[in-house]
């Protein structure tokens, strides 16, 4: 399947289904509050990241997220990946 076709399926079917299920509310768990965020969700994020073996189009692996939590989740993942990447030494 081409990238264009995958994007079309994401935009027309998967993304709206996630928003409808979650009621356009952020499902990101905020530990210090002990509850979900609940703000307006403008993005869809993966519960298990794709690089960690998460399924890209499984509704069970997707959740509506506000923009701030989607960015924070991506930044956290990038930090974790950069810690595990072997750095080459140049002498």
Banded model confidence at residue 58, pLDDT cuts 50, 70, 90: very high
CA distance 49 to 72: 13
CA distance 48 to 19: 18
- Looking at the domain assignment, is residue 91 inside a domain? no
90: in domain: no
Runs of H (alpha helix) within 12-66: 15-22
Within-domain flag for 76: yes
Domain that holds residue 28: 3-84
pLDDT-derived band at 24 (thresholds 50, 70, 90) equals very high
Q: What is the predicted pLDDT for the residue at 91?
A: 45
**31 domain-assigned:** yes
pLDDT grade for 84, boundaries at 50, 70 and 90: low
| Total domains in the fold of the chain | 1
**Does residue 61 fall inside a structural domain?**
yes
Residue 64 pLDDT exceeds 50: yes
CA-wise closest residue to 49 among 37, 63, 33: 63
Is the residue at 9 inside a domain? yes
**Contact status, residue 36 vs residue 30, Cβ threshold 8 Å:** yes
Q: How far is CA 4 from CA 7, 8, 10, 11, 62, in A?
A: 5, 6, 10, 11, 20
Lowest pLDDT segment from 9-13, 41-45, 65-69, 87-91:
87-91
Strand duo 29-30 + 35-36: pairing: antiparallel
Query: Is 66 part of any domain?
Result: yes
């Amino acid at each position: 399947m081409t990238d264009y076709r995958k994007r079309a399926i994401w935009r027309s079917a998967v993304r709206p289904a996630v928003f409808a299920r979650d009621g356009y509310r952020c499902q990101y768990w905020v530990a210090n509050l002990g509850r979900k965020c609940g703000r307006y969700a403008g993005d869809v994020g993966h519960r298990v990241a794709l690089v960690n073996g998460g399924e890209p189009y499984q509704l069970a692996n997707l959740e509506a997220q506000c923009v701030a939590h989607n960015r924070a989740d991506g930044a956290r993942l990038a930090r974790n990946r950069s810690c595990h990447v072997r750095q080459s030494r140049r002498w």
